[in-house]
């Protein structure tokens, strides 16, 4: 990033503000040109959103945030810049005027990239003194999160400049897509526009509401698009025979009145051959079965991510799990032995770089087991809403054996101690296959009055249920390791 350290951003609207945030969070100093008196407050709000998002997104240390300066003078913004991103409104004459002023004052070798979503770079660069360094760098909102940036040069744009822009965008975490040919609206917006026009017809003809159209994407194709786009999804739909088979099977539907957009290319042998060849290159050495596995693994992670924010298909998944839980037969727990509370399988995303179950997943499994214990003793949503809960005070985990992907495990729980405000439990994770113990965890939990933020006695129902378990478990032998801390290291 040493080649680019000072960036000028021209225009601080939604797109410009997004660029400012991405540049700053990559350690670049930014001078923002915007004559609007409210520009700084608007951009600061976008920066705050970006910082919050990056805190959740990145698991590595970020560069020190760059310095932001605001100016109402274009010359001041660009005269010492290493890179310029222009974001003024989509008005051809206005852009031409602003770009001419930028071109006049910017250092001769400084790249000038426009965020235009449709104006052609050949027309925008026509009157510039240094047209070879001008190109389109079209992003997508929110700019600080979505990685795609479409790079489109005009007739006078240097190939070296397009490659230099692509390298810069990669350095700040983006996926540059260099267009082979200049075309109105580039690639992504042309695809979106085709979808948008069909959506408008569906609303106009009374076939679907705007919500139903959005649901058709976000609960279906949109989830797959996030993984593989269109062509690779259709390659998989062709089965082992791949893309050529898909085209031969579904190609005729292009002539059916499934859309208002009926001007489609003829699927002749030449086009079928080109698509098939490019699809083969895209897939590389991956078989259909391997692509299916990648697709399914990705969709699981997308669905679980959406579940964490209780949105869209994630909300549907939560509802489905709740239904399965409510319909599951209620097992009768045997209080005369440690309670069998939890069964699961070690999942692929639980595996670390050593090929074993990573340590925080052990804590997750123990936490899920504790949640099931709390459910059994009566800590319901209504109990929490009434102002009471149970907090974990202490957890001590012993890692004894390695867990591997796909292994079935179960967890038992032994109540080790109980008084009017606290209880202590021992969880044990056991591998189903050979009954070997993978890990143990001891936890101390306390009853809390949430409103007053202090310890209190258990509610009547919780107290009765815990006492019933304790009547049996206090008679069970306590393992030798229970209550032991980490042994001190002996030095020689």
- The model's pLDDT over 104-124, given as tens digits with 9 standing for 90+, comes to 999 999 999 999 998 999 999
Could you give the CA distance from residue 184 to residue 117 in angstroms, rounded to a whole number?
9
Tokens of 115: 């965020």
Length of the chain: 492
Task: Give the count of domains, the chain.
Answer: 3
167 lies in the same domain as 238:
no
Same-domain pairing of 242 and 141: no
Residue 359 lies in a domain: yes
Final residue of a domain: which of 163, 186, 209? 186
Domain that holds residue 276: 190-294
- Residue where a domain terminates, one of 166, 186, 206: 186
Task: Give the residue-averaged pLDDT of 172-190.
Answer: 95
CATH number of the domain that residue 216 is part of: 1.10.1040
Q: Which residues of 296-321 are buried (b: 16+ CB within 10 A; e: fewer)?
A: eeebeebeeebbeeeebbbeebeeee
Query: In this predicted structure, which of 209-213, 217-221, 350-354 has the lowest mean pLDDT?
Result: 350-354
Query: Is there a single domain that holds both residue 383 and residue 459?
Result: yes
Please indicate, yes or no, whether residues 335 and 272 belong to a single structural domain of this protein.
Answer: no
pLDDT for position 491: 43
How many angstroms separate the CA atoms of 45 and 35, rounded? 18
The verdict on 63 and 206 lying in the same domain is no
How many other CB atoms sit within 10 Å of the CB of residue 351?
17
Does residue 299 lie within any of the structural domains? no
- Boundary-marking domain end, from 277, 294, 311: 294
Is residue 39 located within the same domain as residue 88?
Answer: yes
pTM of the model: 0.79
pLDDT band at 329 (very low <50, low <70, confident <90, very high): low
Residue 255 has pLDDT above 90, yes or no: no
**Has residue 16 been placed in a domain?**
yes
Would residue 274 be called left, alpha or beta, if left means φ above 0 and alpha means ψ between -120 and 50 degrees?
alpha
Q: Are residues 113 and 229 in the same domain?
A: no
Residue 1 resides in a domain: no
Q: Tell me the CATH number at 124.
A: 3.40.50.720
CATH of the domain at 372: 3.10.129.10
Q: Residue 458 falls within a domain, yes or no?
A: yes
- CA–chain centroid gap for 217, Å, is 17
């Amino acid at each position: 990033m040493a080649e680019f350290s000072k960036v000028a951003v021209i225009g601080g609207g939604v797109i410009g503000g997004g660029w400012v945030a991405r540049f700053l969070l990559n350690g670049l100093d930014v001078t923002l040109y915007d004559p609007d008196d409210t520009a700084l407050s608007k951009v600061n709000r976008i920066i705050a959103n970006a910082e919050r998002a990056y805190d959740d997104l990145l698991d590595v240390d970020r560069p020190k945030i760059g310095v932001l300066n605001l100016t109402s003078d274009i010359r001041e913004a660009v005269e010492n810049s290493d890179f310029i991103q222009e974001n003024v409104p989509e008005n051809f004459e206005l852009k031409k005027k602003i770009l001419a002023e930028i071109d006049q004052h910017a250092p001769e070798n400084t790249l000038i990239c426009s965020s235009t979503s449709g104006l052609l770079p050949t027309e925008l660069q026509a009157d510039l003194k240094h047209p070879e360094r001008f190109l389109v760098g079209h992003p997508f909102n929110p700019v600080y999160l979505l990685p795609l940036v479409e790079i489109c040069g005009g007739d006078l744009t240097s190939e070296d400049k397009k490659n230099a822009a692509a390298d810069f965008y990669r350095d700040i975490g983006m996926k540059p897509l260099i267009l082979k040919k200049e075309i109105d609206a580039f690639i992504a917006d042309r695809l979106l526009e085709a979808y948008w026009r069909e959506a408008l017809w569906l609303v106009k003809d009374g076939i679907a509401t705007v919500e139903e159209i959005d649901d058709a994407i976000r609960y279906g194709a949109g989830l797959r698009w996030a993984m593989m786009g269109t062509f690779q999804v259709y390659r998989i739909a062709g089965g082992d025979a791949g893309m050529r088979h898909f085209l031969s099977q579904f190609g005729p539907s292009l002539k059916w009145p499934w859309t208002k957009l009926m001007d489609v290319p003829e699927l002749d042998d030449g086009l079928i051959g080109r698509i098939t060849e490019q699809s083969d290159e895209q897939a590389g050495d991956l078989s259909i079965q391997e692509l299916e596995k990648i697709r399914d693994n990705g969709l699981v992670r997308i669905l679980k991510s959406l579940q964490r924010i209780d949105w869209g298909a994630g909300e549907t998944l939560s509802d489905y799990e709740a239904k399965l839980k409510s319909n599951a037969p209620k097992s009768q727990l045997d209080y005369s032995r440690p309670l069998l509370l939890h069964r699961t399988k070690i999942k692929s995303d639980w595996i670390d770089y050593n090929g074993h179950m990573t340590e925080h997943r052990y804590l997750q499994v123990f936490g899920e087991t504790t949640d099931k214990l709390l459910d059994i003793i009566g800590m319901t949503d209504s109990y929490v809403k009434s102002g009471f809960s149970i907090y974990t005070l202490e957890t001590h985990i012993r890692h004894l054996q390695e867990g591997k992907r796909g292994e079935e495990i179960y967890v038992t729980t032994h109540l080790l101690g109980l008084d009017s405000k606290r209880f202590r439990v021992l969880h044990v994770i056991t591998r189903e296959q050979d009954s070997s113990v993978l890990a143990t965890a001891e936890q101390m939990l306390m009853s809390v009055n949430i409103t007053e933020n202090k310890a209190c006695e258990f509610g009547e129902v919780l107290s009765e249920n815990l006492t019933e378990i304790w009547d049996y478990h206090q008679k069970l032998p306590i393992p030798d390791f229970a209550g032991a801390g980490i042994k001190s290291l002996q030095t020689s």
